[in-house]
Amino acid sequence: MHPRYGSPEQRSGSSGTVNERRFVESIEVDGVFNVRSVAGPGLAPGRLFRSATLDHLTPRGRNMLEKLGIRTVLDLRDGTERPESTAPAFWDVLHHPLYDPLTGPPRTGEITAIYRALLDERGRALTDAVRALAASPAPVLVHCTAGKDRTGLVVALALSAVGVPDPVIVDDYAWSGPRVRPHREEAVRNLLADLALDPAEHTRSVELHLDSPPSALQSALGHVRRRYGSVTGYLEAHGFTADDLVALRTRLLGEPELTVLHLSDVHASDRQDPFVGVDGAGRVRAAVDRASASRLRPDIVVVTGDLAHHRATATYPGLVEIFDEIRNRLGCPVLAVPGNHDDPVAFASAFGTHPVEYVRGFRILGVDTSSGALPRDELARLSHELATPAPNGTVLVMHHPPVPSPAATLAGRELVRTDELAAVLHGSDVSAILAGHFHHPMSGVFTGIPVWVGSSLAYLQDVGTPGDSVVAFDDPAYSLVRCSRAGVRALPIALRTPEVLFRSSPTLTATTS
């Protein structure tokens, strides 16, 4: 595993890892403990909050929650746990008790077993709570007594259903224990003091009331997936509809957009090659200069292959240095995949393998088509990655386009065995495919997925020449691609600034130059 790309357990919603970049945002509210905003990759800020009980909320704390804009409070306790009356509030309170009202919350037990029993026996109540979260006016605050167990399960199910990675969900859950213990430890020990518990039972019961071990939530999510295939499968089995899922995604994700700086076919050479005769590395820098000065600043830079010309691997260290400069300058990740001109072994050593980045809740996933096809291991990796959807969908990055070019000189040069790729992509969350290789910009559709073939930084190929000749224009270009749930937009941009034909503004009449 190359250090530039984390393992699935390490990846977060940005280019950092979960351990490097925590998403939890703790909030101090007078009279309430364990308060925080639920944040993570792709989640719209300020939509979902969680806390312990609001029973002791002070006027100052109430004012704080009103400033946060809380419009709905989802109370997961039953009637025996709630006070008979509460002060009027700015928000609506919805009651969705999770434990059976006849038995109430458990006093003793092992936390993992309690979670599994709650998931197995109260699936309808849990699903109703997630549905209420999805349908209620936001911002929504979810709470129980400590804001740890019932709240933790509802929040975890909701986040997982919209594709937030497990490490982020578990990180949010684990935040509760240290915040609960100072407020609840004495009451819990008094609660357990009158019970005839052996030391092991006492230890387990203390953990149940005071701790939030990551293993407990990991076990709960694993239990759901083993029985139902996925968290969405669990919710659907208990009455959650497709409309409910759309509402949940809208509530938690908002309308994010991803801007991609798409570079392709650099053909950097360590010698003056008459076939190309261009400074590929210099053109990468020039494209980044143009992009950094634009108001359409990229969230990620992708490079779709042929970084070197004729396997000129001596150019790789220089390109690695340029990519590191880009990361520092633009503050965004760089993801590169190899092309047929690249040396696979040297490329992997320089730029890494299995490239995946999470940005703004989108997953940008690179695959190796340098052989002209997707190898079996790449198809298997792709299938494994896509089994878990990303919050805002996946952008697939490759060198060889899965659609043919209209140019006679490029006949048969597209990706081969596209039926295998189609089978893997069927039903997946892939919303766009970015490719290169053709040296001319082109859009297409593959199995219902928009395809954008980016322009080349080396040369523009004439698509109108006969099949036995290639005409290359010295007209380098790059692309800006914007992805959202509303669709995909791609814009080819010439690297060189063309002559201005005219200028206009709302106060001036256009004039020709």
- What pLDDT is attached to residue 292? 79
Show me where the domains of the chain are located: 25-253, 257-494
pLDDT in tens, the chain (513 residues): 343 443 333 333 333 333 334 566 789 999 999 999 998 877 888 999 999 999 999 999 999 999 899 999 999 999 889 887 776 778 999 999 999 888 889 989 999 999 999 999 999 999 999 999 999 988 999 999 999 999 999 999 999 999 888 999 999 999 999 999 999 989 888 888 888 888 899 999 888 889 999 999 999 999 999 999 999 999 999 999 999 998 998 899 877 789 999 999 999 987 765 555 688 999 999 999 888 777 778 989 999 999 999 999 999 999 999 999 999 888 899 999 999 999 999 999 999 999 999 888 889 999 999 999 999 999 999 999 999 888 889 999 999 999 999 999 999 999 999 999 999 999 999 999 999 999 999 999 999 999 999 999 999 999 998 888 889 999 999 999 999 877 899 999 999 877 777 776 655 544 443
Residue pair 177/139 in contact (Cβ under 8 Å)? The answer is no
Residue pair 307/348 in contact (Cβ under 8 Å)? The answer is no
CA nearest neighbour of 23 among 158, 159, 219: 159
The answer as to CATH 3.90.190.10 being correct for domain 25-253 is yes
In what helix (H) or strand (E) does residue 319 lie, and over which residues does it extend? helix 316-330
Residue pair 421/374 in contact (Cβ under 8 Å)? The answer is yes
Residue pair 42/391 in contact (Cβ under 8 Å)? The answer is yes
- What pLDDT is attached to residue 193? 87
- What pLDDT is attached to residue 84? 78
**Structure letter (DSSP) for residue 197:** -
What's the CA gap between 19 and 15, in Å, rounded?
A: 12
- Burial of 160 (C-beta count, 10 Å sphere; 0-12/13-18/19+): buried
What's the CA gap between 136 and 65, in Å, rounded?
A: 17
What's the CA gap between 452 and 369, in Å, rounded?
A: 16
What's the CA gap between 508 and 322, in Å, rounded?
A: 41
What's the CA gap between 224 and 19, in Å, rounded?
A: 25
User: Which CATH superfamily groups domain 257-494?
Assistant: Metallo-dependent phosphatases (3.60.21.10)
The helix-helix angle for 111-121 and 214-228 (nearest 10°) equals: 30
CA atoms within 13 A on the CB side of 266: 33
AA identity, residue 99? Y
- What pLDDT is attached to residue 19? 33
- Strand pairing partners for 268? 308
Residues in contact with 64: Cβ distance below 8 Å, sequence separation at least 6, in sequence order: 27, 28, 29, 30
Residues in contact with 11: Cβ distance below 8 Å, sequence separation at least 6, in sequence order: 17, 18, 165, 167, 356, 358
Residue pair 146/176 in contact (Cβ under 8 Å)? The answer is yes
pLDDT digits (tens, 9 = 90+) for 93-116: 999 999 988 888 998 999 999 999
Q: Using only C-alpha atoms, what is the Rg of the chain? A: 27
Q: For the stretch 438-473, what's the b/e string if a residue is b when 16 or more beta carbons lie within 10 angstroms of its beta carbon? A: bbbbbebebbebbbbbbbbbbbbbebeeeeeeeebe
What's the CA gap between 380 and 386, in Å, rounded?
A: 10
- What pLDDT is attached to residue 305? 96
Q: For the stretch 109-130, what's the b/e string if a residue is b when 16 or more beta carbons lie within 10 angstroms of its beta carbon? A: bbbbebbbebbeebbebbbbbb
At residue 209, what are phi and psi to the nearest 5 degrees?
-85, -25
- What pLDDT is attached to residue 276? 56
- Strand pairing partners for 433? 396, 451
What's the CA gap between 266 and 246, in Å, rounded?
A: 41
